[in-house]
Amino acid sequence: MRIALSAAAALLAAAVLSAPPVAAEPPDPGAPVPECNDPSCVPGIQPGAVLGAPCTNTTYYAFGVTSWGRVVFCGSPRRYEPRWFRSTELRGVKIEGSNCSGRDGEMAQAPDGLFLSCDARNGASTWTRGDI
């Protein structure tokens, strides 16, 4: 009986370990983006973030909220380790490269979770990667 159970467990472990990893499908770039203009509809915001505490992701799903409701973002200033900073206005979910006129310096998140910042360059304000 023990040998049979051991053999079954070994086969099950081998099947699990040899199965290919399942990855989440990236959003369809042609799919319409639901309208989202404030933090309440932004997916992936980390609850319980502590201002100034270490954080791990400065590129995707980089926003958090403190216990008192302050929106923060995970940033890495200069050569220091990433930590939570106060965020400027979080304008919801936007498309990278789209117009953000009048929102200079404000932040958003792309549908795939990319951290965006509204930057004025060459006479136009657009949503650009916030991690560069």
> What pLDDT, on a 0 to 100 scale, did the predictor assign at position 34?
74
- Element (DSSP H or E) covering residue 86: strand 83-86
115 belongs to a structural domain: yes
In the chain, how many domains are there? Answer: 1
120 falls within a domain: yes
- Strand, coil or helix: what is 7? helix
Classify residue 71: in a domain, yes or no: yes
pTM of the model: 0.73
Residue 47 domain-assigned? Answer: yes
Query: Is 98 within a domain?
Result: yes
**Domain membership of residue 77 as a residue range:** 37-129
Q: Is residue 32 part of a domain?
A: no
Report the chain's mean pLDDT, rounded to a whole number.
81
Task: Note whether residue 6 is domain-resident.
Answer: no
Query: The sheet that has 90-93: what strands, in order across it?
Result: 90-93, 107-109, 115-121, 124-129
Measured between its terminal Cα atoms, the distance across the chain in Å is 60
Which segments of 1-132 does DSSP mark as H helices, in order?
2-18
pLDDT digits (tens, 9 = 90+) for 55-104: 999 999 999 999 999 999 999 887 889 999 999 999 999 999 999 999 99
Q: Is residue 114 part of a domain?
A: yes
Give pLDDT tens digits for 12-61.
Answer: 333 333 333 333 444 555 666 678 999 999 999 999 999 999 999 999 99
